[in-house]
Amino acid sequence: MEIVYAIESAQKSKLTRVLEAEPYADDSFARAGYVLKDSAAVGLPAGKLVAYVKVEDAALAAKLEAKLKAIEGIAALAGADKEKVVAAIAQEQDAACSGFGAVFG
């Protein structure tokens, strides 16, 4: 399950407080792994931050989404906007993996 949320850049402190809270807890964003990007870097209009999390466990996904939904001003992305973010992050991760492979290949 891929979770994608956006918030105004001015609200970054609220978002990072939630993303960085309790990093050693089983239901933390640090354990699940998240990506935080400027919206312009993933093909969306500038001025927002985008948080992306990919988890396989539905229960964990629900807990993480509940934490994000508690932030005032945050909104879930869906449809074409969500697909742009998912595609941009997947492309970036693939490029990083192939570059790392070239170092040792």
Lowest-confidence segment of 35-39, 81-85, 86-90, 92-96 by average pLDDT: 92-96
* Structural domain total, the chain: 1
For residue 37, the SS3 value is strand
Task: Report the run of H or E that residue 35 belongs to, with start and end.
Answer: strand 34-38
Q: How confident is the model at residue 63 (pLDDT cuts 50, 70, 90)?
A: very high
Domain that holds residue 6: 2-104
Instruction: Report yes or no: 6 and 49 within 8 Å, Cβ to Cβ.
Output: yes
- 37: closest CA among 46, 25, 49, 21? 49
Asked if the model's pLDDT at residue 96 lies above 90, the reply is: no
Q: How confident is the model at residue 65 (pLDDT cuts 50, 70, 90)?
A: very high
Asked if the model's pLDDT at residue 74 lies above 80, the reply is: yes
CB-side exposure of 31: number of CA atoms within 13 Å?
A: 14
Residue 68 belongs to domain with CATH number: 3.30.70
Instruction: Report yes or no: 60 and 3 within 8 Å, Cβ to Cβ.
Output: no
User: So what's the pLDDT on residue 95?
Assistant: 74
